[in-house]
Structure 1
């Protein structure tokens, strides 16, 4: 796909991007497929997927208590537990506001460790990474942001999100297409206050947000995540494809400028090819 070459103009040292369909067909790839990039918050969808495996295995229930008083695993995954952004401090009542929280995912990781009796990084490996063949992906630290991976590995995960093998498709739809706590307001990091600020379970749902890190032509059902390391993964169910882009520069104005037109170009080219 010619549109993927746009990453060459990004003000970064190293970048890689790919587009994959639900059947695993890679429509295009550009940049080093095996280069290991810090994922930052693109770690969260992987953590969420592990939590959903634990749910389907019966180790946890999504609505069991976890985190602050009144909070559940569902609240933690949907950023509505009331925990602060980067502190294990309660700043609101569960379900009241969408308070994007790294601390919430760290509490989730601890909860899953206790429930499964397996250290979370190892559980993630056994439940998600190993079955998908994501051999270059590791977690050494926070379940919210300490993942490291490659373009090749995340393409495998992007294909899984579109045609699940590890989870029941209904579970994935609940996490990626179903708004949790509808109407909840909150701040989308880097993009300001959004009303509503829709999320699934560990995945942001685009809906009508503006401004946004995806494209102007992205469907409202688009879901995914971006990270402060200059990384993103989105799935557009209406377009029938997913895109992964990884870079080695901290998120900032450069990303808000280049990501949306890049996504629009990818969607336009894919549509023209179909």
Structure 2
């Protein structure tokens, strides 16, 4: 039986998925179908920003907006979800923010003279063969892609070729560890661990990954009904894309399905 079989029962018109787990890797559904990613976009954009750090466009501790590149990637800058929202001082609370990613893109464009969508395409999509991935709007939530492309991205996350392993290890490490904050749809988490663009499971409850999965699980989910998670030390990742928006239906189903998948692995 396919380890991804439970995804077939998701109540969405279209569902596609991929499991990357060595000789147990498999796919489900139309892996070439293009889906809106919503906030899974942040993982792709973060990778572009980290490449920019290695290319010395800026550094993690370069001032950007009201804080630094590191603060913005880790949702610790104090800026609100969108431009114009109320703000706090940096390092006071984990405030989930797409606007922070927009500030990063604007700063990269100012320093490099290259539109971020083009920089991202050249730095990430082209070398990984992600020909059906497009950043069409906000780097916080407006990209579209396929399971095939995101599986290629997940393999890169498990065995990086575009970033130094130390840079990626930093991205998977908790930044500003004492911060509390809200995971959209899941409420206040105390603390609310986050890396550089990557959400870190930690001890969060409730959570969209399985309760039996390691605290080191990293990834992101999107309001369009999408998620990507990986457990780096185990060399395992899963991508799921659908076209049913996240809601009450998803919270128990995603957690139960991911928990069952992890038990089988």
Both structures adopt the same fold (TM-score exceeding 0.5): yes
How does the TM-score come out when normalised to structure 2?
0.97
Q: CA deviation at 1:88?
A: 3.7
Give the equivalent residue in structure 2 for 1:14: 14
Secondary structure, counterpart of 1:245 in structure 2: strand
Cα pair 1:18 1:26 within 8 Å, conserved: no
**In structure 2, C-alpha distance between the alignment counterparts of 1:135 and 1:173, rounded to whole Å:** 27
Give the equivalent residue in structure 2 for 1:188: 183
Give the equivalent residue in structure 1 for 2:35: 37
Runs of 4+ in 1 over 6 A off after TM superposition: none
| Structure 2 unaligned residues grouped into runs of 5+ | none
Give the equivalent residue in structure 1 for 2:57: 59
Give the equivalent residue in structure 2 for 1:173: 169
| Structure 1 unaligned residues grouped into runs of 5+ | none
**In structure 2, C-alpha distance between the alignment counterparts of 1:92 and 1:266, rounded to whole Å:** 39
> C-alpha deviations, 1:6-26, integer Å up to 9, x for none?
1221111000111113x6x66
How does the TM-score come out when normalised to structure 1?
0.94
> C-alpha deviations, 1:94-128, integer Å up to 9, x for none?
11110001111111111111122110000000111
> C-alpha deviations, 1:208-259, integer Å up to 9, x for none?
1000000011100000000000000000134430000000011001110211
Which of 143, 149, 155 aligns to 2:145? It is 149
Which of 74, 80, 83 aligns to 2:76? It is 80
1:123 paired with 2:139, answer: no
**In structure 2, C-alpha distance between the alignment counterparts of 1:26 and 1:83, rounded to whole Å:** 42
**In structure 2, C-alpha distance between the alignment counterparts of 1:238 and 1:54, rounded to whole Å:** 25
Q: CA deviation at 1:267?
A: 1.5
**In structure 1, C-alpha distance between the alignment counterparts of 2:116 and 2:262, rounded to whole Å:** 36
**In structure 2, C-alpha distance between the alignment counterparts of 1:118 and 1:170, rounded to whole Å:** 26
Cα pair 1:232 1:244 within 8 Å, conserved: yes
1:135 paired with 2:131, answer: yes
RMSD: 1.2
